[in-house]
Structure 1
């Protein structure tokens, strides 16, 4: 049984998304103690920013005419696509940065697409948990309602393009405890934190069960 886990926080030691991903993984490991986990941490080990362009160019260049840089980039893209294709289940933990996904996460997505094909469902019918964490509040009635341009994109890639059987855990207000002006939101933030932790544990149990059924 193989689990793929991707983290994208640039603050790994205090990551709210990693905390939730850890809960999901712990439940999966409890059910599959001999399972393999493939990890990518884009915050601590980012992919080369120019690799996507090189891999894409390689796809349109005869093999004998490719540069070494193009061959290396295409090999990396193929490896990333393979990690998703070979997994039985996936955890993807992605914080919101500057109202969208970070450039290092977008590089990973683009490279994985380049390593297969834009139409290839790399997670077809596989159970996956998306964890997304947000410092502020962007829900209905919030001053910045609609400014979350990350979550719709993540759903589009994971559920629609790669066809994962997706569960989404979204925690907002992660900065309430440390940000002046958000004091009145701290009780709500604490409640959302508790709910997200409970949802992560439940998602982990579901992920483990669904992955086992999928393999059978």
Structure 2
């Protein structure tokens, strides 16, 4: 039985592209692997405290950090919803990373998460793809890739990206609605296909 750790961080509980896509991923995962386990954390509904000196000193002896690290260690796969806020990840997701990554415990060359596949659903209101005017402002994929590889040694990171999510609500972006719809369709299809493939592989 494979375990999926599902993390959502979008502020709004409804109307969130990242939440909708991660939910579709989980649904497809469960359809493919109904015996599997899903550990869920909604970082907006139940925010984690910022890392403080006492928690740093305690490391894995800190009850909360130990609980989070145990969830990560149990996971056969990790799914993270990471919308772009002010060009980077939500502070709640940063708090989770700060708490769950523990030097001398699960970070470094002996990381227990090195072989764990991570799927990141990155949503953003505009486009930050290579070749676009705001390419240099993209600090969601860049940051998460570096911290997961650099601290946890993760070797399997897969991004599902939904762009132009504000096109339907921002009058200045109406010309980009077709691009938004195409991006969303592709993201939904990727979530479905990747979840089923991953569940099938891990359930063996």
What TM-score do you get using the length of structure 1 for normalisation? 0.85
Partner of 1:86: 74
What is the Cα deviation at residue 32 of structure 1?
1.7
The total of aligned residue pairs comes to: 200
Partner of 1:195: 186
What is the Cα deviation at residue 160 of structure 1?
4.5
RMSD between aligned alpha carbons?
A: 1.9
Partner of 2:158: 167
Distance 1:37 1:89, change over 3 A: same
User: Is 2:131 the counterpart of 1:106?
Assistant: no
Distance 1:105 1:20, change over 3 A: same
Larger Rg: 1
Q: Distance in 1 between matches of 2:202 and 2:96?
A: 24
Partner of 2:9: 8
Partner of 1:53: 53
Distance 1:159 1:12, change over 3 A: farther
Q: Tell me the SS of whatever aligns to 1:181.
A: helix
Deviations 1:79-137 (A, max 9, x none): 11110111111211111110011221111101111373431534221232111101111
- From 122, 142, 145, the equivalent of 1:152 is 142
Q: Tell me the SS of whatever aligns to 1:12.
A: coil
Q: Distance in 1 between matches of 2:83 and 2:196?
A: 23
The 5-angstrom pairing of residues 60-71 of structure 1 reads none
8 Å CA contact 1:127, 1:210 repeated in 2: no
What is the Cα deviation at residue 52 of structure 1?
4.2
Q: Distance in 2 between matches of 1:20 and 1:122?
A: 27
User: Is 2:28 the counterpart of 1:39?
Assistant: no
Bigger CA drift: 119-128 or 163-172?
119-128
- Runs (4+) of structure 1 exceeding 6 A deviation are none
What is the Cα deviation at residue 43 of structure 1?
1.1
The 5-angstrom pairing of residues 22-33 of structure 1 reads 22-33=23-34
Distance 1:161 1:114, change over 3 A: closer
Partner of 1:62: none
